[in-house]
Every structure is written in C-alpha cells, then in structure tokens.
Copies of this chain bind each other. A is one copy, B any other.
Amino acid sequence: MSQILHLTKSLTLRYPWASSPLIIAAPMRVMSGPALAVAVSRAGGLGFIGPSLKTQDVARDLEEAKNLIEQSKALQAARSSTSQTLPVGIGCQVWTDDLETAASVIAKYRPCAAWLFAPRNGQTDLDNWSRAIRAASPSTHIWIQIGTVSEARAILASTEKPDVIVVQGAEAGGHGRATDGIGFISLLPEIADLLAAQNFSIPLVAAGGIADGRGAAASFALGASGVAMGTRFLATAEARIARGYQNEILRASEGGASTTRTQLYNHLRGTFGWPEAYSPRTIINRSFVEFQAGRSFEELKVDHDEAVKKGDEAWGPQGRVATYAGASIGLVKEVKPAEEVVNELKGFVLGVFGEGVRSSL
C-alpha cells in the first residue's frame, strides 16, 4: 500500500530513465559537475549540473555529460524517447547567469530540466527566463526553487508556471532565503494547500536538510513528489570538490550550531551584489568566529587569501574559506558513490511505505 508515493510516481514518469521514488541531485554551483549529474541519473535519479562561474562554461559540462550519457545504454535509450533531451538538468543562478547565453546552450544540448533560482527581480525575472528557455527548448522542463509561501503565490499569479516547484527549507546549504526562510516541515504542506486551494497540481520537490532515507521518507509523507539533496552529494566520489572541503563535510556535525547564514564568505571571495533576499549557509570556521569577535574585514581578507594558497588546509575549523553546506552535515559521515546514495534512499523509502525493496516500480 502506498497512497503516499503516488505523487512521486507521477513525477517520475516524466523522466523515463528514472524510477520512483524520485531522488534528485541539486545543482550546486561548480561542485555539481557532469560526472555527478550523470551518475545520479544513471542510478535512476535525476542529476542536475550546477551553474558555472561563467554561464558559457556550462556548455563544456553539458558536452561532457552528453559523452557520458552516450556510454550508458539505458540513458541513451531514454534520450531517444524524450525528443533528444539529455537525462540531466542544469541549474541557473538567475541574478548572475546570462539569459541569452543560457538559452543558446539549452537550445543546443536540451537538458531535461532547467532549475532556476535567485532572481534579482522575483517572478518578473523568472517569467523572462521561463519564456526564453521554453522558446529555446520546448521539451526542457522549468523547475523553480522557492523558500517562502509568497513566492509560491507569485508563481500561481504568473502566466509562466513552472513544471516543478522546489521548496527549499531553511536547513539547506549554500544560498537560500536570508531572513524569511523556514523548515519545509511547515512550509511544504502550506504551499501544497495553497496549490490545492487554487486547483493547481504542480509537483513539489523538497530540499533542505535531507541527507538519508529518513529525511526522504519524511518529505514524501509531507506531500513531496521528489527529494533533492546537495550536501549529501558533496560527499560522493563524483562531486567536483576539493579534498579539504569534502573532508570538512565528513567531519562537521551538529548543523544547528556549527553552520550559519552569512554573506561574509561571499565577500571574502570577492563576490558582492547577491540580492538581499538570499544568504548562504556555511560551516563556521575562523573567518566567521573572528568576524563575530570584531576583527576587521580587511584583516580577515588578508588571512583568507593566504589560507586559499594552502589548498586543502584552507578548510576545517582552523580554516578560513567558504564551506557552504547544509544543516544535515551531522548525517554525512562517509564518501560513497552517488549510485549508492540514490539506491539507499530509494530502498529505505520503499520499505517505509510498505513496498518492500522492489528495485523499480
């Protein structure tokens, strides 16, 4: 019996290589490369390639993903059956990515989905992006990430509704809502009720704080159609991540106390101008501790730039560089192949909802 899994089954059907329940690798900037995205899709999930430092560089990632996909019979078969869309998605950081470039890359490679987040001008920007991407590649689904009920209202009032809404809770790593975010334990059901009240059935994907089967099963119980994870996939063999960073993900625990949201590390890296609505969750290290104690930004910047030269030692409690990660870090204790992460979650969820360990539905 699995009334609760009918939502994920219907979303999964849109991605013919995937099997229910749908497990998604979120598009982490730079760190979610083609190897990770393809490995997740190959395991029957849906992998997203993260935004690149420059929009045009995502073409290189998609080219590599295409080559990897051509080596997989199952993914290649799915591609033939889906108007040649690639069985991976891409993430677009709306306020910095260039729309024209993104649209032309999407037209060429046709990723199965484009996950839009962090617009500077809210729904207006999202509408422009959605229109341009749909014109460039009608088969590419639009996924929009939100973290508040207000953003859901804006989506429902728009004529460019997405194919999927990602509901990101406050526990998420990296950039999310700065001050008005909250856990999806309350947020996702409230958004689901809003959609139902207006007779919309856009699938919701839960993100933020999920790192194993328990969080995944909880998400489906709340009404999610899919489960997206970032931090858990940082600790996979396929993540495009420095060893020092990855080791810190394994070491750190107690996310409530050991992570915080702050713009400090963006500024230390020389990134300014993030829309005020967003700030990133990061593991706390010396830069933040000393900043809180009143040390000047200029001094911290000097030490930060020195630390960067040390390579893997730049991370860790005595380190100084950005270590974006979610509050679920205490649940991530070893590096695994992405395929294993996906399979473990699926097995757990199917067990919880009474479908045993059947490998596909």
Q: Which residues of A contact B (CB under 8 A)?
A: 1-4, 147-150, 169-171, 177, 180-187, 189-190, 192-193, 208-212, 214-215, 217-223, 253-257, 326-328, 330-331, 351-354
- Give chain B nearest CB distance to A316 CB in angstroms: 19
- A4 closest partner in B (C-beta): B352
A-B contact pairs, 26 of them (CB 8 A): A1-B354, A4-B352, A148-B254, A149-B257, A149-B330, A170-B170, A170-B183, A171-B183, A171-B186, A181-B256, A183-B209, A184-B185, A185-B210, A185-B215, A186-B326, A186-B328, A187-B255, A189-B211, A189-B212, A189-B214, A192-B214, A214-B223, A217-B221, A217-B222, A218-B218, A353-B353
Q: How far is the CB of A162 from chain B (nearest CB, A)?
A: 20
Residue of B nearest to A218 (CB): B218
A327 touches B210 (CB 8 A): no
B contact residues around A214 at 8 Å (CB): 189, 192, 221-223
> Contact at B218–A3, with CB atoms within 8 Å?
no
CB neighbours (8 Å) of A352 from chain B are 3-4, 221, 353
The answer on a CB contact under 8 Å between B150 and A254 is yes
15 further A-B pairs in the complex, CB-CB below 8 A; given A185-B208, A185-B218: A3-B351, A169-B185, A170-B170, A170-B182, A170-B183, A171-B182, A182-B256, A183-B209, A186-B331, A189-B212, A189-B331, A190-B253, A217-B221, A352-B353, A353-B354
* A contact patch SS: helix
The 4 closest A-B pairs by CB, nearest first: A183-B183, A182-B256, A218-B218, A217-B221
A251 to chain B, nearest CB (A): 14
Closest to A215 in B: B185
User: Is A148 a contact partner of B257 (Cβ separation < 8 A)?
Assistant: yes
Nearest Cβ on chain B to A8's Cβ, whole angstroms: 14
Report A237 CB to chain B, min CB distance, Å: 23
